[in-house]
Chains A and B, each alone.
Chain A
Amino acid sequence: MASFQVTEQNFETYERGVPRLNAIRQAIAEADQEKHVYWQFRFRYDYIEESVFCGDRYYALIMFPELLQHYDAHPELQDDANITHSLLVNFRWIVEAAPEFPQISKAEIDNYFRLFRRRLLENDYSLSIYYMKRSLFYLDIDLDIASSDFYKFLESPLDSIADGKPLYYNHQVEYYLAMDEEEKALKAAEPIFSGRMKSSALPHSTLHKFCRYHVLKGDYEKALSYAKQFEHTVTGDLYYLHHIGTLLALYAHTDPAHAAKLFNRHYPLFLSSKNPWLRAAFLAGAAAFAKWADTQQLLVLVSGAVQADDPTQFAQQLCRDAEEVAGKFDQRNGTSIFTDRIRAFCAGL
């Protein structure tokens, strides 16, 4: 046991992302070999956490069924309230991550949500987080269901599985903007913008939501006022590729040279990401930028980071890729929201 503790402490010595995931993978194999029930669970938990927060969530989705199966097979784990809590925290990440992969069908995601709900109820947790994540998923699919879940989320008490008060407000912003209710969104954002509510993802995530809302509406001046408040905190971070996508679309309309700089800096990150949702969001903005670049025949795309023999062809390829990945999401969701977003980003270019 002590040696596994040391193993876990040593994870910190590895670089975040794939190197650390590999190290945890090795630890899982060792715990499995020794059939150490607790550490089999614990290392899988660590693996999922690392994948969610420092990777692209892809590996988390692969690992989660193993974690669940292991938990269900061992009553001694189920009897430990802390372990159950950890499982549910993991589950929360998974229901958020699953919709980001279009290869996971809507029926499978609905099933994940149902299972998550059951586990929450069985263990006497609030359904707040369930309603929050499900309303988020349904914002791209069915606004009726999204609104029903959203209001139930507002009326459910927050508990230790919930995302916390700052993200409670942040989700309200997401919802109200999706419903084109900017005034309500601004009111919900007030605790965040005043600095009273913070988290590692705030306020930049909230600022980004407003920025994207205005880009989609074609109000670039307002979008810029939000963009300059969060751009410096998200650049260079794999986790925020979707923010970069929005910025690319915005700058394609307002400052193409800056868009080119951003694109060149983040394109390698984009290539390394396995998360389709992040990729789609990045590509949607990149398509707007490429469309502008295509029409202007500007060669700014080619830089040390982006080696393209034929910039025009490269730009066209970006647009096709964007349409393709957006189409996959739309097909899964039975809507055209992802494709419409690309069109809105590109409008007027």
Chain B
Amino acid sequence: MFSAKEFNDQIYEAPHGEPRLKLLANAIAAADEASESRWQLQYRLDYIEESTFHDDNYKAIVAFPELLKLFDEHPELEDDYCDDVMQAFKWVLENTFDFYQISREEIERYFDEFEKRCKKYGHSLRVFYMKKCKFYLMADMDKVPENYEAFHRFKRGINSDCEACEMSFDMKVALALGNEEEALRIAQPLLRGEKHCAEVPHCTYGELAEHYLYKGDIAEAHFYGTQCERLIGTDAVFLTEMGILLELYSAADAQHGWTLFKQSLGQFLACRNPLMKMHYARGAYRLVKVIADSMKDSPDGAYSKSAVLRSLPLTFTDKGVSLYEVSDWFFAQAKDQCEKLDKRNESTRYTDLLNTDLQAASEAFVPEQHRTQHGIVPKQRAVFAVTLPADKKPSIEELKERVHFPEGTEVLTCSAEEQQLFLVVRRDGIVTEYVLAAQELPPGMPARPVAGMSDETFGEMMDVSLKYMLSMEYGSTPMLEMHHAMQLLYQLFPDMLGVVDMRTWHAYPRNWVKFAASYEHGVTPDDLFGLFISGSEETGEIEMTTTGLCALGLRELVISGTNEENYGDFAELLDFAAKAAVVQNMLPDAGTAFGSFRIGEQELSFTWTDVADCGEQQNRDISEEQGIPSGFLLVQTADGAAVLPTDYEPLTEEEAQFPSIHKDFLRRIRLAKETYQAFEALMQQPFARAAVRLEYRMSEDMADEYGYSIELLWGDAVRKDGKIIQQVGETAETLPDIHEGDETEVEPDAVADWFIQPKGSERTYGCQNLFYLWEEAEA
């Protein structure tokens, strides 16, 4: 018997794209066989949606006529499915533009049918004219104005694209009509993140990148391209945008473009959408050509042995494949698609773009000048420089042999080529690409030692000029990805002196790398965001900065005037603000609110101001002191008044409630549990003092009354009869039955924190500085 629930359970647990499409195809077949008309329609709608938003649209176009036929055959379902079918019609109508195989006459027929049905069902014609205008942007610019005007004449309706999509479309039209200023004005809400959807501003950034690229303003194109790249990931639906990025990086950063090319080539080969293929092939042609030109005079010539290129129908020799052949192949692909699309559109638009020479603009581009008038520094890649003792110089081939990932890791690529170790792995659902290469670096690296690194080790690290450079990019889970990177580095270089994170310029000793590799929660936000504290013992004043924000492509912020008593509160505040900025992927414009929090009844948010403005008020020039651009973090009240956090009176009197505190708090508790074995081992040795913090569950009545159910209590840890016992050292009104001195056996699952001072040691170890137990450099 047909059960939609069983299919639904499978479909929605599957990842988007091909796996889900396959399950939906099965569900369609089963519904057809059972003649379940409702589900025949429903699954076809889902299939078209999946193909449109998570694939190359091809399957949507193929499936749509069947859907329409079924819908017309079942008038009893019209009320339930009319809106959905018209929505699918809208998607498919737009998809037809991408396929040159669909003639202009057929597209016009699709439009006629869509218009007829819009009128029949009482839908607004707004979206009809919008799509028509979109088609004429490709095919006939003369017809754009009248259709664009008609689009705005009709009110929004059920079938309208979302406001973000409409806004992005308005911008596209303004660009096409040569009104760049108007286009940027229209796009502001999208660029500020006020309006967004699953495709916008991803596509908006792509459009702008392409516009500026062809205009010859590569710095501006690079800015938008970087934003686009952060958003699109490796989703097949954004192959057009990926093509634009390849084209952009052919002019701005060919090496980075090459990395993207290798990641995305598989999607291009699997894609059946001619417009997407055309964009990608055009970008790949330009990129590979630039790389080939740069290599042609090298001893090995313009050849590559990269394994991913084997999927192309080209001849491999001992030297690999000629990059000129690769470039020519992509050019032929692009030319073919351009000509076919142009022929169908009765236009020369795409052929003209393919024949545009971008070289002059590329030569004028200065990579260092990435900052634009938008005030946002583009995100940089993560690069770790590993230093080994001077006598150790493993080859790339030797390092390849050392690669061994934990169970559950899928190694997509592991190859040693062109003096580089190239690794692509999928782990915990995250695909990461690592590139490792040895490089002689000149002295003078501006690193500073952190994590208790000794001057000796640091000095030695700086003296050795040969570094092993690991490059990668952070995705949406930077802490987990850094943990993975540390695991890889520790496995490849167990005898290292240390690592310099070249984005934060933090130099970490070997023992910290081992620690961060061993414990997932050992990589703390402070390390990543580069919370930096300096101060004076005499005055008790402390200055705090978010150096790491720069490393994540954001401005550094400063809180000044904090002192020894309140710096803990401000550390949390700064940490939270940093993360609020990271979550948004960028720091908004100065004066714009981000990361709201609450003090008592008052809703507050953070904002920032340029260092010049605030420094003037403070009569100081922080930028000179630090030598890097920076801003001041401000607290903003609901009425828009902004002050330095230190000047904001209630902050020091009443606890601030940050939405993310709980998460970090739990993270620290998880680290305590992860490291409990180390604590247990230390407890077996003589120790001067040990303490453990345990979770105590409150009674249900108490939990109801107070709104939470677990209290954390510190107490001395002692050994008794082979067990570890906590002697409760503090009480809580929510736990009336727990008294000071009560003894509780320590269960690892209940541990929330711990520290221990071994006998004869001056150092106290806790879960966050456990790495001190190991030698800094054992080499």
Contact = CB atoms under 8 A, between A and B. Distances in A.
Contacts of A10: none
B12 A154 contact: yes
B4 A194 contact: no
Interface string A118-151: 1001111000000000000000000111111001
Contact of A148 (B42, B160, B700): B42
Nearest to B2: A144
Interface string B143-164: 0000000000000111110110
Interface in B686-708: 700, 703-704, 707-708
A151 B8 contact: yes
A147 B12 CA distance: 10
A195 B707 contact: yes
Given A117-B83, A122-B160, A144 B4 contact: yes
Contacts of B709: 193-195
B714 interface: no
A326 B5 CA distance: 26
Interface in B154-203: 156-160, 162-163
Contacts, number: 56
Interface in A314-347: none
Contacts of A110: 79-80
> How big is the A interface, by class?
20 to 34
B662 interface: yes
A44 to B, nearest CB: 24
Contacts of A307: none
B3 interface: yes
Contacts of B11: 151
Interface in B63-95: 79-80, 83
Interface string B37-63: 001001000000000000000000000
Contact of A232 (B3, B662, B704): B704
A74 interface: no
A166 B5 CA distance: 25
Contacts of B162: 124
A229 interface: yes
Nearest to A119: B158
B80 A147 contact: no
B707 A143 contact: no
Contact of A196 (B158, B159, B662): B662
B9 interface: yes
A269 B328 CA distance: 82
Nearest to A113: B80
A296 to B, nearest CB: 31
A198 to B, nearest CB: 7
Given A114-B79, A154-B12, A195-B703, A144 B39 contact: yes
B662 A147 contact: no
A121 B12 CA distance: 23
A23 B137 CA distance: 58
A198 B12 contact: no
A155 interface: yes
B83 A114 contact: yes
Contact of B156 (A122, A145, A229): A122
Interface string A35-77: 0000000000000000000000000000000000000000000
B708 A144 contact: no
Nearest to A145: B4
Interface string A93-122: 000000000000000001100100110011
Contacts of A147: 4-5, 8-9
A161 to B, nearest CB: 14
A121 B703 contact: no
A237 B563 CA distance: 51
Nearest to B195: A124
Interface string B1-17: 00111001101100000
Interface in A159-177: none
Contacts of A111: 79
A187 interface: no
A258 interface: no
A122 B157 contact: yes
Residue among B156, B158, B703 with max Cβ neighbours from chain A (10 Å):
B158
Nearest to B36: A144
A272 interface: no
Contacts of B157: 122
A124 B83 CA distance: 15
Interface string A213-254: 000000000000000110011000000000000000000000
Contacts of B703: 195
Contacts of B83: 114, 117-118, 121
Q: Which of A123, A124, A146 has the most CB of B within 10 A?
A: A124
A233 B704 CA distance: 9
A147 B5 CA distance: 6
Contact of A155 (B5, B12, B159): B12
Contact of A114 (B80, B163, B704): B80
A123 to B, nearest CB: 8
Contacts of B704: 229, 232-233
Given A122-B160, A228-B700, A151 B12 contact: yes
Contacts of A122: 156-158, 160
B158 A144 contact: no
Contacts of B156: 122-124
A111 B159 CA distance: 18
Nearest to A204: B704
A229 B12 contact: no
Contacts of A154: 12
Of the listed residues B11, B12, B163, the one surrounded by the most CB atoms of chain A closer than 10 A to its CB is B12
Nearest to A78: B155
A144 B700 contact: no
Nearest to A123: B156
Contacts of B662: 196
Contacts of B708: 195
Nearest to B196: A157
A140 to B, nearest CB: 15
Nearest to B13: A151
A143 B163 contact: no
Contacts of B3: 144
Contacts of B79: 110-111, 114
Contacts of A196: 662
Given A143-B5, A144-B3, A118 B158 contact: yes
Nearest to A114: B79
Given A110-B80, A114-B79, A118-B158, A198 B4 contact: no
A195 B704 CA distance: 9
A34 to B, nearest CB: 29
Nearest to B87: A121
Given A118-B83, A122-B157, A144 B5 contact: yes
A194 B663 CA distance: 13
Nearest to A229: B700
A114 B704 CA distance: 40
A123 B163 CA distance: 9
B42 to A, nearest CB: 7
B523 to A, nearest CB: 23
A195 B711 CA distance: 12
A123 B155 CA distance: 11
Contacts of A123: 156
Contacts of A195: 703, 707-709
A144 B160 CA distance: 29
A155 B708 CA distance: 29
A159 B157 CA distance: 20
Given A124-B162, A195-B708, A198-B707, A148 B80 contact: no
Interface of B: 3-5, 8-9, 11-12, 39, 42, 79-80, 83, 156-160, 162-163, 662, 700, 703-704, 707-709
6 contacts: A117-B83, A118-B83, A121-B158, A124-B156, A124-B160, A147-B4
Given A122-B160, A196-B662, 10 more contacts: A117-B83, A121-B158, A144-B5, A146-B5, A147-B5, A147-B9, A148-B4, A148-B42, A154-B12, A198-B707
A-B pairs with the 6 shortest C-beta distances?
A: A144-B4, A151-B12, A195-B708, A147-B5, A147-B8, A124-B163
